[in-house]
Amino acid sequence: MENPAKVNPVVEAVIKGTAPHPARLAAARGLLPLSQSELLEVLVALRKSDEAELAEAADATLSSQEPDDLLLAAKDESTVSSVLEYFARNSALSQDIHEAIVLNTRTPDGAIMELAATTFSASLLEFIALNQRRLINTPGIIDAVLQNPSRSPEAERRVRETRKEFFEKERGARQVAEELRARGNNAAAEFFETAELDTTSGELSFDDLLLIAQHIEVVDADIDDSWLPAERYVELQAETSEEHLAAVNRVLEHERLESGDMSPERVSLIRKIMFMNARDRMKLAMKGDREARGILVRDPNRVVCAAVINNPRVTDQEVEGISAMRTVSDEVLRLIALNRSWARSYPIIHNLVRNPRCPIPTVVGILPRIRTKDLQNLSQNRNVSDAVRRQALRLMQARSGE
- pLDDT band (50, 70, 90) for residue 169: very low
Instruction: State the Cα–Cα distance between residues 285 and 198, nearest whole angstrom.
Output: 19
pLDDT (average), residues 348-354: 96
DSSP state of 165: I
Residue 201 confidence class, pLDDT cut points 50, 70, 90? low
Burial code (b: 16+ CB inside 10 Å, e: under 16) for 12-44 equals: eebbeeebeeeebbbbbbbebebeebbbbbbbb
pLDDT at 295: 95
Task: Say if pTM beats, i.e. exceeds, 0.85.
Answer: no
Print the domain residue range for 242.
171-314
| pLDDT tens string 111-134 | 999 999 999 999 999 999 999 889
397 and 335 share a domain? yes
> Is residue 231 one of the residues assigned to a domain?
yes
Does 184 map to a domain?
Answer: yes
Note the pLDDT of residue 136: 87
Based on the domain organization, do 235 and 178 belong to the same domain? yes
Rg, C-alpha atoms of the chain:
29
Q: Per the structure, how many domains does the chain have?
A: 2
- Structure confidence at residue 44 (pLDDT): 94
For residue 387, being part of any structural domain is answered with yes
d(CA 160, CA 259) in angstroms, rounded, equals: 47
Residues 124, 375: Cα–Cα separation, whole Å? 75
107 occurs within a structural domain: no
Strand partners, 288: 216
- Mean predicted lDDT score pLDDT of the chain: 89
Is the per-residue pLDDT at 307 higher than 90? yes
Q: Is residue 379 domain-shared with residue 263, that is, in the same domain?
A: no
Whether residue 1 has pLDDT greater than 80 = no
- Do residue 300 and residue 259 come from a single domain? yes
What are the tens digits of pLDDT across the range 237-272? Answer: 888 888 888 999 999 999 888 888 888 889 999 999
> pLDDT, tens digit, for every residue of 60-111?
999 999 999 999 999 999 999 999 999 999 999 999 999 999 999 999 999 9
